[in-house]
Amino acid sequence: MDLLDRLSEEGRVRLGETAERLAMATRDENRAGSLALVRQARHSLRIISWELDGPLYANAPFVDAVSDIARRGRNSTARILIANSDLIIHQGHLLIELAQRLSSTIQIRRLGEEVRDFNQAFLVVDGTGVLHRPQSVLYDGTLNFHDPGQAKVLTARFEALWEQSAPDPELRRLHL
C-alpha cells in the first residue's frame, strides 16, 4: 500500500499513535501528509517554508483545517515562518488571507536576514506530528504522526528562528 492510500484511509494513521517514519518524494505525498497532520491537530501548528509552498498550503482543505485549529480555543496557536514573501504578495495565498482574519491565533513572520540561508521545510503539530524536508526546494522528506523527539528538536529550532524573525509588513492587510 502506498503512502497516498494510507493517508486517505480514515484512521489508518493517527496523530500521537502511529510512530512510523514514512518516506515522501512527491508534491502529492507532501500535500496529503500535511493535510492529514493538520486535520488531526488539536492545539498547535508550526510551519517553516521558504515561500509557503502554494500546492501544499494554499488549498481550501488545508486552510479549513488550520482555521479549525485557530478557532478551537484560546490556547490554540499557528505560527508560520517564511523567507520570501514576494510570490505570496503577487499571487495571493489562502493561508495568508486566513491569517489576516485570525491574526490573534495565526501569526506569520519573515526569517531575519542572518538566517535566510536556512533551507529546511517542516511542519510540526501538537508537539508530536512532523513533516520534514531537509531541503525546502525538494519534496523528498519524511512524515511521522508520533515522533515527539524530532518534534521537540524541530520546535526548538523553530522557536529560535521565530525570535530572530519579524512580521512582514508586506503581508499586513491594508485598511483604507
- Rounded Cα distance, 84 and 128, in Å: 27
Residue 123 host element (H or E): strand 121-125
Per-residue pLDDT tens for 50-67?
888 888 998 999 999 999
Region 145-169: mean pLDDT is 94
Q: Which three cell numbers stand for residue 156?
A: 526548538
Question: Which residue shows C-alpha cell 479549525?
Answer: 68
Q: What is the fold, at CATH topology level, of the domain defined by 25-135+142-147?
A: Endonuclease; Chain A (3.30.870)
pLDDT at position 48 over 60: yes
**Structure pTM?**
0.90
Predicted confidence (pLDDT) per residue in 77-127, tens digit: 999 999 877 777 667 687 888 888 888 898 999 988 877 678 899 999 999
Strands 77-82 and 44-49 turn out to be parallel
